[in-house]
Amino acid sequence: MHLYLTGYRGSGKTSVARTLASELGVDAIDLDAVIEREAGRTIPELFADEGESGFRDRESEALARVAERREAAVVALGGGAILREENRQVIRRSGRCVWLVARPETLAARIAADEQDGPQRPSLTTPGGDPAEEVARVLEQRQPLYAAAAEHRVEVDDQSIDEIAEQILTWLDQQLT
């Protein structure tokens, strides 16, 4: 069984996945990195060339392939991977899912800091828009889908990657006993 991490962009999925994978002795897989590697293009390029629908098709295909792996892995899902019911079903069938939850202000600040290091994702805001307001709006739409996909949630505001990973490991241990 895989361990999937879901949550909004900037919630720490990739960093937490690396830490968990190291602790569990399994591979860490970043689904967005898989898509970029297979496509030979960045996510912003894919959105520009194929639109969101084309990107989501690639995402569903990549998730299905990762889910079929025999070896367990910790998988950092893209923030929108839970938008399609078929993806939520794949996640439920092939593993356990934890939702990393953060306040919109926290997410907007992390995204802004990440974009200063070079944009890796499609633009978050419309020109002149308030990033925190846009995060809050999109997050409100996605929250029921994150909740539907995840068996457990961890509040990640003001916590280190190690603290978040420890909470997830404790939860996993409780599930297995």
Residue 61 domain boundaries: 2-170
Is residue 63 in some structural domain? yes
For residue 111, give the amino acid letter. Answer: I
**pLDDT score, position 126:** 55
Cβ 19 vs Cβ 35: under 8 Å: no
Cβ 77 vs Cβ 67: under 8 Å: no
Which position has the token pair 């994978």?
Answer: 21
**pLDDT score, position 117:** 46
Is residue 165 in some structural domain? yes
Look up residue 8 and give its two tokens. Answer: 């909004």
Q: Which residues of 92-120 are buried (b: 16+ CB within 10 A; e: fewer)?
A: eebbbbbbbbbbbebbbbbbeeeeeeeee
Domain with residue 81: its CATH number is: 3.40.50.300
**C-alpha–C-alpha distance, residues 79 and 96, integer Å:** 16
**pLDDT score, position 84:** 97
Q: Give the number of domains in the chain.
A: 1
**pLDDT score, position 176:** 81
pLDDT in tens, the chain (177 residues): 999 999 999 999 999 999 999 999 999 999 999 999 999 999 999 999 999 999 999 999 999 999 999 999 999 999 999 999 999 999 999 999 999 999 999 999 988 887 654 455 554 445 556 778 889 999 999 999 999 999 999 999 999 999 999 999 999 999 887
Is residue 49 in some structural domain? yes
**C-alpha–C-alpha distance, residues 144 and 117, integer Å:** 31
Which position has the token pair 């439920």?
Answer: 92
At residue 158, what are phi and psi to the nearest 5 degrees? 60, 25
**pLDDT score, position 128:** 59
